Amino acid sequence: MDYSKELAPDVREKMKKNLVYVGIFSIVMLFAGLTSAYYVNMGGGFWLKYPMPSGFYLSTISISLSSLCFILALGFAKRNKMNLVKWFVSLTLVFGIGFVGFQMKGYQQLVAKGIHVVNTEIIITDGRYGSYFEIKYKGSFLQVDGNDYMMNGRKLSKQEMNELQKFMAPYCRPDQKNIMKARADKNFQLLLRNEPLLIKNNAFYVNDSIKMPFIDEIRLGQLATNIQFGRGDFVTKGKYGEDFVVYFKGKKLEYKNRQLMYKGKILSPYLQIKASETSDNASAFLYILTILHLLHVGAALLYLSKLVISSFRNKYSSEDFLSLKLGAIFWHFLGLLWLYLLLFLIFIH
């Protein structure tokens, strides 16, 4: 039996609003703890920073318009203009769904830049060009600068990079089947520890005499995969200093000659090793914060759907629209929470 119906309307409204406020407080504490953990972790080691994807800004516009529509819906409910309430609550839901869509677009943009939800390294270690393998193109050694493949001091053209990726594609999985697919290309030559790498009898040979060890086959596959994804020294795609930057204990690091530096000085060997072993915790936190918020938005959208259905069934009047008020409180809170998270990620991340 629902005894709340026996209470005075103002008491019942206050009681239900307090329940919403308690829920909001618990969510605030959750995100306060996560953002505090983010800040503490950021100051203790290597941290990757990059601009937010455009999808996140579009989702901000969408949820702002959604909140505006909800405000207008409440205003019309007070004036008993229920036909307008129906449409503005519906628009609230539409823009809310738009928020989810743009968030997904933002995640797709992050993944396209090599920023994944699964914790990955910041710096390429497995299959790093030059550690074991090198490539000659038209008689000249290729070099790596950041994520760019270079030759004779210039970046490879798009066509040259496509040729390199096509040449390396069969080596992504250097098993017997793919070795047979690998064609001799007079423009390219693979070298392992400065010795030419050849294919004969469906196997790799170093300098035409020594069969390549299995561990080096794995390393070759890792290098080929990195080249396919356009990666050089960093997992994140793009140009260092423009598309992303690495920080150490809050200090911006420079990148030169394939080494991280601070104020023109190369980091100590210990820090170089630590950097190569460090996972991209920054991106892990970004996904945790935004996906957790998105889950709350998803739950709120289900409630909004119920409000839309109720409005079209004419269940609200100027004297009774408490459900709309409660939904608006929580929805506006989620909008403000997203704005806080976005600003936090822009200025801190």
pLDDT band of 144, cuts 50, 70, 90: very high
68 inside domain? yes
**Number of separate domains in the chain:** 2
- How many angstroms separate the Cα of 13 from the Cα of each of 4, 26, 164, 302, 333? 10, 20, 68, 21, 18
Is residue 89 located within the same domain as residue 161? no
Is 152 found in the same domain as 86?
no
Which carries the bigger pLDDT value, residue 86 or residue 119? 86
> Is 177 contained in some domain?
yes
pLDDT of residue 102: 98
Determine the 3-state secondary structure of 199 from DSSP: strand
pLDDT in tens, 288-311: 999 999 999 999 999 999 999 999
Statement: residue 184 has pLDDT above 90: no
Q: For the residues 313-326, what does the mean pLDDT come to?
A: 87
Residue 177 pLDDT exceeds 60: no
Taking only the tens place, the pLDDT of each residue in 254-267 is 999 899 999 889 99
| Distance separating alpha carbons of residues 338 and 347, to the nearest angstrom | 14
pLDDT at residue number 6: 63
The pLDDT of residue 214: 86
Whether residues 114 and 136 share a domain: the answer is no
Is the torsion defined by CA of 294, 338, 242, 269 positive or negative? Answer: negative
pLDDT level of residue 35 (50, 70, 90 thresholds): very high
Last residue of a domain, which of 233, 267, 297? 233
Which residues constitute the domain of residue 61? 13-120+281-347
Judgement on whether residues 219 and 158 belong to the same structural domain of the protein: yes
- In this structure, the answer to whether residues 152 and 220 fall within a common structural domain is yes
**Same domain? 52 vs 133:** no
φ and ψ at residue 112, rounded to 5 degrees: -60, -25
How many CB atoms neighbour CB 291 within 10 A?
12
How many whole angstroms separate alpha carbon 299 and alpha carbon 334? Answer: 11
Residues 138 and 211 in one domain: yes
pLDDT of 95 over the 70 cut: yes
Binning pLDDT at 50, 70 and 90, where does residue 50 land?
very high
- Give the integer Cα–Cα distance in Å for 38 and 9: 43
Residue 263 lies in a domain: no
Contact between 132 and 192 under an 8 Å Cβ cutoff? The reply is: yes
Answer yes or no: is 103 within a domain.
yes
Same domain for 58 and 151, yes or no, is no
Coil, helix or strand at residue 210 = strand
**132 and 46 within one domain:** no
Q: Is 292 exposed, middle or buried (0-12, 13-18, 19+ CB in 10 A)?
A: middle
| Residue 73's pLDDT band (cuts 50, 70, 90) | very high
Highest mean pLDDT among 153-157, 242-246, 297-301, 317-321: 297-301
pLDDT above 90 for 207: no
Would you say residue 256 lies in a domain?
no
Residues 114 and 154 in one domain: no
Tell me the pLDDT band of 316, cut-offs 50, 70 and 90. confident
pLDDT for the residue 297 = 98
- 130 with 82, same domain: the answer is no
Q: What average pLDDT does the structure give for the chain?
A: 89
**Greatest pairwise CA separation for the chain in angstroms:** 93
Measuring CA to CA, how many Å separate 311 from each of 162, 304, 325? Answer: 57, 10, 13
Task: Using the CB atoms, write b or e for 99-129: b if 16+ within 10 Å.
Answer: bbebbebbbeebeebbbbeeeebbbbeebbb
Instruction: Determine, yes or no, domain membership for 343.
Output: yes
Residue 58's CB is within 10 A of a number of other CB atoms, namely 16
Say if residue 140's pLDDT is above 70: yes
Run of H or E including 273: helix 269-277
Q: pLDDT-derived band of residue 10, with 50, 70 and 90 as boundaries? A: confident
Q: Could you tell me if residue 140 is inside a domain?
A: yes
- % of the chain residues with pLDDT over 70: 93
* Residue 265 lies inside a defined structural domain of this protein: no
| 41 against 7, higher pLDDT | 41
Q: Residue 30: which pLDDT band, with cuts at 50, 70 and 90? A: very high
| Distances, alpha carbon 182 to alpha carbons 161, 166, 188, 315, in Å | 17, 10, 12, 70
pTM over 0.75: yes
**Over 60: is that where the pLDDT of 1 sits?**
no
State the average pLDDT over residues 98-103: 98
* Cα 254 to the center of its chain, rounded Å: 23
Q: What is the dihedral of CA 161, 164, 165, 168, to 10 degrees?
A: -160
Same domain, residue pair 114 and 130: no
List the CATH number of the domain containing 31: 1.20.120.80
**CA distances in angstroms from 14 to 4, 9, 28, 282, listed in the order given:** 11, 9, 21, 41
